Structure 1
């Protein structure tokens, strides 16, 4: 195996004819070094291709300036945009990020947490699996700063930030009802997901207010948060012989898949079936028909999540905090 040999401060010191301490002071931008010596050392460091050993510095200072991020799936456009927000806030505070994907698998989540703790991260931003609640309780017990993003847990003494999911579900369903749709399918994620439960609560509230009563079959649950799942859910409803003129989808990915299925079935969107998504990912405005959806400030979710974590890591806040961000209905062509 090829092992790379990094240039050390000793290599620079030997070439410059100065002490290692002098090189260290220059590279760490300390005062009391003459301009001539400073320029000479920096020139040699550049020529030799010196790369600072951050790990060694972290060991000395006991501060890694690294934060772990555990997300469901970075290929999902929602999480990609949340990640952008986390990254922007981290960069402002000169923190690096270590990203792990779990795919909502509790085993992968446990392994990801273990890996991050072994790397001595200073805090963790996580979209957790609700089956992995014991992992979060463990983190709380050993005082690792943690912020839960996009999920809500009753009774857990950890910081969390998520959108107003009940309002989102309510706005989406109310919009479909306002368009004269009565038989509204809800393609939802699994009930272990707090966002799914809260969006369903909003869906039911809007139907109740409109005095529309639908069988439980009208809620189709799928564990995969992708387009394929939305596509299959529509055919499942057809197999069950459910008449429907509107579809509310747990996320935009489901909605894209659902629209594709409707096209194959010869249904026009929105004339025959109106479709509302959730998240307002970038693709939503470019898709045809462009998607009516619930907009979440995804960048803001990530940015605020890191800010909350930073407050906790630096001891500026001791008590757990829950932040709920507003959502809005974006009306486009699909409904």
Structure 2
């Protein structure tokens, strides 16, 4: 493998001149620069990335810590972050906490040992150990999707409360007067905000409702939606609509409805939340409250890059709006003869 000494000998210049050309520092005449670059190309020189990062105190690595990698929303979010950062010359290390505080803390320590230049974190919300590890190492972070007011950091969120309100209002305006809500993780502030927004809309319009809150945490979101819908329909057969607070649980609920011989949306309307791509390809296509997933990831990455290498930065708090995507899984309730 060629070294800078080999380059210096071939180009007929000093080691210092080679170093200035490779690191783009100091003054070098155009003629000498051309000699050095020609030698680099002839020798097919590849710089030692770890050594260069030690000198520059940067690795151009970004940590992305999310709660559940196999969840379509978080997978798409990580993908949008990776595409943005790759175009900016950075590479990412994706870590999946699996909604587990200890796993989250261990991955944080790993990212610190890998000397990442920064991290984008969708926290589990179960513990704050991870934030202490980043703070101690002076690694800048940006929170995404899930808010933790206790953590001092920039953050990019969506308006989950408004999205929950908007979703429930959609069903109400269609004429539904008995609505079931399928919630999810109790420790996720995003889920709680969606639930509270939906409940406020139902209270504002005096609409009856039932809430299914899982008694235990589970990573099997499709199964959660399936069993939640079966339970709600068994105990409240007059329900005419279900609002699942994630698209994945909504898909599970759709399968439950079909298993019970119910026609969607004629006999049961089903609404999701997230806007994952799969929802548009279901039969019927899933009506959903869509998050701007790509924008969410790109904005978080953009804010993080601005903070890297700075001793003091202004914290940015960005809240993005949701959008109702009306599709075929919701309609006015069927009139009873």
TM-score, length basis structure 1: 0.87
Give the 3-state SS of the residue equivalent to 1:81 in structure 2.
helix
Q: Give the counterpart of 1:273 among 262, 268, 274.
A: 268
Q: Give 1:250's aligned residue.
A: 245
Q: How many residues align?
A: 325
Pair 1:20–1:232, CA change in 2 (3 A): farther
Assess if the C-alpha contact under 8 Å between 1:296 and 1:326 holds in 2. Answer: yes
The 10-residue stretch of structure 1 (173-182 or 290-299) with the greater mean CA deviation from structure 2: 173-182
Question: Displacement of 1:142 after TM fit?
Answer: 5.1
Question: Displacement of 1:118 after TM fit?
Answer: 0.6
Q: Give 2:334's aligned residue.
A: none
Question: Displacement of 1:230 after TM fit?
Answer: 1.3
Pair 1:138–1:9, CA change in 2 (3 A): closer
Q: Give the counterpart of 2:160 among 162, 165, 186.
A: 165
Q: Following the alignment from structure 2 to structure 1, what is the Cα–Cα distance between the partners of residues 167 and 324?
A: 7
CA root-mean-square deviation? 2.6
Question: Displacement of 1:301 after TM fit?
Answer: 0.7
Q: Following the alignment from structure 1 to structure 2, what is the Cα–Cα distance between the partners of residues 36 and 164?
A: 54
Q: Following the alignment from structure 2 to structure 1, what is the Cα–Cα distance between the partners of residues 33 and 305?
A: 37
**CA displacement 1:63-92 (0-9 Å, x = unmatched):** 222221111233322123222332243235
Q: Give 1:3's aligned residue.
A: none
Q: Which runs of 5+ in 2 are unaligned?
A: 331-337
Pair 1:103–1:187, CA change in 2 (3 A): same
Q: Which runs of 5+ in 1 are unaligned?
A: 1-5
**CA displacement 1:12-66 (0-9 Å, x = unmatched):** 66777876556555544674354773464133333xxx43211110111112222
Q: Following the alignment from structure 1 to structure 2, what is the Cα–Cα distance between the partners of residues 300 and 147?
A: 14
Q: Give 1:311's aligned residue.
A: 306
Pair 1:121–1:266, CA change in 2 (3 A): same
Give the 3-state SS of the residue equivalent to 1:100 in structure 2.
strand
Pair 1:138–1:35, CA change in 2 (3 A): closer
Q: Following the alignment from structure 1 to structure 2, what is the Cα–Cα distance between the partners of residues 110 and 12?
A: 44
